[in-house]
Chains A and B, each alone.
Chain A
Amino acid sequence: MAAGTAYEPVIGLEIHVELSTKSKMFCGCEARFGGIPNTRTCPVCSAQPGALPVINREAIRHIARIALALDCRIAPGSIFHRKNYFYPDLPKGYQISQYDMPFAVEGHLDVTMDGEQHRVGIERVHQEEDTGKNIHAGESGRIAGAIYSLIDFNRCGIPLVEIVTKPDIHSPQVARSFLNKLKNTLQYLDVSDCNMEEGSLRCDANVSVRPAGSDLLGVKTELKNMNSFKHLEKGLAKEIERQIGLLEAGRPVVQQTVHYEVASGEVHPMRSKEYAHDYRYFPEPDLSPLEISQDFVDDVRTGMPELPSVRAARYVTELNLPEYDAEVLTSNRDTSDFFDETLNYFDDQKMLSNWVMGDLGAYLNASGKKLSIETVSPGQADQLCWLSPAGFGEFLAMIKDGEIAAASGKAVLPEMCETGKTAREIVEEKGLAQISDTARIEALIDRVIEANPEQREQYKSGKKQVLGYFVGQVMKESGGRANPRTVNEILREKL
């Protein structure tokens, strides 16, 4: 292909989500991240001969919620298959997964970027189980060059849902934005904690490029190992650049796995060995088929929480918030729940929105803490912010009623978040209460007028804009605590 040709990337994502059920997919072992190695196993998930798997009902409810949220068609009948391969983190020698009869198909999720909507089709959503965890010991810590591996089966058998998109994504930015929206949706659904660093949300990508405007699909590679949103975007950009480089040099793109190296941000094509991908799928004889009735689907649908897009629409239509506010507020479930709950204590929704997006948002970003509508216990304080919806509502009401100046509020709020003290307590301790007491303000004004005879003359001679100067001086004298309205009124009289 000639240099100078414009290329269009074609990207499909494969996302794995660990479900946050109490127990594993096919046994009663606790499904939780980390812990002392090999303390959460049983005959089923450690593959002892004769042990039999039984499907976790709650996992099926979870995947049904995911399928509905992605507007998928849930199959009335689906079955589990064995995917056979040998790897030390897979004690059975096969992973229980789904193959040609997945749980749900044909959905979509819309993402908005720079005001433009992109619809990303969902090919399929299926249920499977997670594998154990390898620690590759050796000099490099990477698989290649490891001296031996250590295997921990605590994660083995945790319910895993695989979501496969259609190749509808045409830029690394939209891919990132899609994954973000998907994560947000899954968090609203309460089906996973979606922690990319801990691996409860993982994303691989199928990538190809083609001349812009072409309908043909180029040869694709499978890009793996992007463990954050940032790295997904970076890895995709690198791989697209690599493929375009090959084509421009007149060389073919080879269908293969490409490994993204987090540390260097580079992509490394892997050479596939013979026999690598013959999984010899066959129906899992130890598990009965799933028959999903309309009643079951309706029941799951009834219990669905309000999804971010629906909630954003409600903010616009019922609360009269600008679309921008609605988008920002609903982009994180904790924040959005907190906003909703605070409305019970404070009814100026636009002022509330401004403070949540402004000062509170800045505090959360800087501290890395999250909001909770539940009472925060001291043990959670390193992750959760102390602020309660009732306390936040009271704080905002004090500003609105003129008990605290907005400027002082900026100092009060972070302290409420850090210490759990009420606004009233902090205002008293720091002497930040707004001065509305006429006598005190008069005294301040008298001092300021006396100190500025020249300006006073100007005002008297008709230069009314000097009033602003006086207001500023009085506010400064009061440490920002004087009630600006009272100051204005009294100043006009006195001058």
Chain B
Amino acid sequence: MSLTHDDVIYVARLARLKFDSRELDRYVEQLSGILDHIDKISELDLSEIEPTSHVLKLSNVFRDDEVRPCLSQDEVLANAPEVEEGAFKVPPILEAEEPEA
């Protein structure tokens, strides 16, 4: 298996997910399986093949610069747990950085 428990805990934390230990075991196994599959692809000689970012052969799908109707303020705020002055009210933001003491 190519992933450790610590790897999965790290990724889960980035995604703000919390698992119990049974779930963790399961995800270590499943995610490792995905990586093992990719390792298998790596065994092939792909030096002649362009890296694929998208599966469809499409490019330059554009729209014209035209203004379309928006949601009303009530609609966009309808599912907000808390609202103040027409804005989403959220807990204080915990910064990734804080001033040094």
A binds B: yes
Which A residues form the contact surface with B (CB < 8 A)? 21-23, 27-30, 36-43, 46, 54-60, 77, 79, 84, 86-88, 134-136, 138, 143-144, 146-153, 256-257, 259, 268-273, 275-278, 280, 283, 285, 287-291
Chain A's closest residue to B75 (CB) is: A41
- Give B62-73 as 1s and 0s: 1 = Cβ < 8 Å from A's Cβ atoms: 111111111111
- Give B25-45 as 1s and 0s: 1 = Cβ < 8 Å from A's Cβ atoms: 000000000000000000000
- Whole-angstrom distance between the Cβ of B65 and the nearest chain A Cβ: 4
Chain B's closest residue to A40 (CB) is: B70
The answer to whether B59 touches A88, judged by C-beta atoms less than 8 angstroms apart, is: no
Cross-chain pairs A/B with CB under 8 angstroms, 16 sampled: A23-B65, A28-B67, A37-B86, A41-B76, A59-B65, A60-B62, A136-B93, A143-B93, A144-B99, A149-B91, A271-B97, A275-B13, A283-B53, A288-B58, A288-B61, A289-B59
- Whole-angstrom distance between the Cβ of B37 and the nearest chain A Cβ: 17
How many of chain B's residues touch chain A, expressed as a range? 35 or more
Question: Within the assembled complex, what's the spacing in Å between the Cα atoms of A134 and B66?
Answer: 27
The answer to whether B62 touches A268, judged by C-beta atoms less than 8 angstroms apart, is: no
Given that A41-B76, A289-B59 are contacting pairs, would A146 and B66 also be in contact in the complex, using a CB cutoff of 8 Å? no
Residues of A within 8 Å of B16, CB to CB, are 86
Chain B's closest residue to A57 (CB) is: B62
The answer to whether B65 touches A283, judged by C-beta atoms less than 8 angstroms apart, is: no
- Give B46-87 as 1s and 0s: 1 = Cβ < 8 Å from A's Cβ atoms: 000000011010111111111111111100110000001111
Tell me, yes or no, whether B96 is within 8 Å of chain A by CB.
Answer: yes
Given that A149-B90, A150-B87 are contacting pairs, would A57 and B54 also be in contact in the complex, using a CB cutoff of 8 Å? no
Residues of A within 8 Å of B87, CB to CB, are 37-38, 135, 150-152
The answer to whether A144 touches B70, judged by C-beta atoms less than 8 angstroms apart, is: no
The answer to whether A283 touches B54, judged by C-beta atoms less than 8 angstroms apart, is: yes
The answer to whether A144 touches B67, judged by C-beta atoms less than 8 angstroms apart, is: no
Partner of B92, one of A39, A43, A147, A288: A147
Partner of A276, one of B65, B68, B97, B100: B97
Chain B's closest residue to A39 (CB) is: B73
- Whole-angstrom distance between the Cβ of B87 and the nearest chain A Cβ: 4
Tell me, yes or no, whether B19 is within 8 Å of chain A by CB.
Answer: no
Question: Within the assembled complex, what's the spacing in Å between the Cα atoms of A367 and B89?
Answer: 40
Given that A28-B68, A41-B76, A151-B88 are contacting pairs, would A144 and B95 also be in contact in the complex, using a CB cutoff of 8 Å? yes
Given that A36-B86, A37-B73 are contacting pairs, would A285 and B54 also be in contact in the complex, using a CB cutoff of 8 Å? yes
Chain A's closest residue to B86 (CB) is: A37
Residues of B within 8 Å of A146, CB to CB, are 92-93
Tell me whether chain A's interface is mostly helix, strand or loop, or mixed: loop
The answer to whether B93 touches A280, judged by C-beta atoms less than 8 angstroms apart, is: no
The answer to whether A272 touches B65, judged by C-beta atoms less than 8 angstroms apart, is: no
Chain A's closest residue to B99 (CB) is: A268
Question: Within the assembled complex, what's the spacing in Å between the Cα atoms of A291 and B58?
Answer: 10
Residues of A within 8 Å of B90, CB to CB, are 88, 148-151
Question: Within the assembled complex, what's the spacing in Å between the Cα atoms of A152 and B87?
Answer: 5
Question: Within the assembled complex, what's the spacing in Å between the Cα atoms of A87 and B13?
Answer: 14
Residues of B within 8 Å of A59, CB to CB, are 65
Chain B's closest residue to A80 (CB) is: B53
The answer to whether A259 touches B99, judged by C-beta atoms less than 8 angstroms apart, is: yes
Apart from A147-B92, A151-B88: 15 A-B pairs, beta carbons within 8 A: A22-B65, A39-B70, A39-B73, A42-B68, A54-B63, A55-B60, A55-B63, A58-B64, A146-B93, A151-B89, A268-B99, A269-B100, A273-B95, A275-B96, A288-B59
The answer to whether B88 touches A38, judged by C-beta atoms less than 8 angstroms apart, is: yes
Tell me, yes or no, whether B98 is within 8 Å of chain A by CB.
Answer: yes
Chain A's closest residue to B97 (CB) is: A270
The answer to whether B88 touches A88, judged by C-beta atoms less than 8 angstroms apart, is: yes
The answer to whether B70 touches A30, judged by C-beta atoms less than 8 angstroms apart, is: yes
Question: Within the assembled complex, what's the spacing in Å between the Cα atoms of A81 and B67?
Answer: 25
Given that A29-B67, A42-B68, A276-B97 are contacting pairs, would A290 and B60 also be in contact in the complex, using a CB cutoff of 8 Å? yes
The answer to whether A272 touches B84, judged by C-beta atoms less than 8 angstroms apart, is: no
Interface pairs A-B: 6 shortest CB-CB: A28-B68, A58-B65, A150-B87, A270-B97, A57-B62, A276-B96
Question: Within the assembled complex, what's the spacing in Å between the Cα atoms of A449 and B73?
Answer: 81
- Whole-angstrom distance between the Cβ of B24 and the nearest chain A Cβ: 18
Task: Specify which of A21, A46, A138 lies most central, judged by the most chain B CB atoms within 10 Å of its CB.
Answer: A46
The answer to whether B99 touches A29, judged by C-beta atoms less than 8 angstroms apart, is: no
Question: Within the assembled complex, what's the spacing in Å between the Cα atoms of A135 and B89?
Answer: 10
Question: Within the assembled complex, what's the spacing in Å between the Cα atoms of A84 and B13?
Answer: 13
The answer to whether B99 touches A270, judged by C-beta atoms less than 8 angstroms apart, is: yes
The answer to whether A149 touches B72, judged by C-beta atoms less than 8 angstroms apart, is: no
Question: Within the assembled complex, what's the spacing in Å between the Cα atoms of A55 and B59?
Answer: 11
Chain B's closest residue to A87 (CB) is: B93
Tell me, yes or no, whether B14 is within 8 Å of chain A by CB.
Answer: yes
Residues of A within 8 Å of B96, CB to CB, are 272-273, 275-277
The answer to whether A275 touches B14, judged by C-beta atoms less than 8 angstroms apart, is: yes
- Whole-angstrom distance between the Cβ of B62 and the nearest chain A Cβ: 4
The answer to whether B67 touches A30, judged by C-beta atoms less than 8 angstroms apart, is: yes
Partner of B76, one of A153, A270, A285: A153
Question: Within the assembled complex, what's the spacing in Å between the Cα atoms of A280 and B96?
Answer: 16
Given that A283-B53, A285-B54, A288-B58 are contacting pairs, would A149 and B63 also be in contact in the complex, using a CB cutoff of 8 Å? no
Given that A29-B68, A41-B71, A42-B70 are contacting pairs, would A148 and B91 also be in contact in the complex, using a CB cutoff of 8 Å? yes
Question: Within the assembled complex, what's the spacing in Å between the Cα atoms of A373 and B73?
Answer: 38
- Whole-angstrom distance between the Cβ of A159 and the nearest chain B Cβ: 10
The answer to whether B99 touches A57, judged by C-beta atoms less than 8 angstroms apart, is: no
Chain B's closest residue to A291 (CB) is: B59
- Whole-angstrom distance between the Cβ of A148 and the nearest chain B Cβ: 6
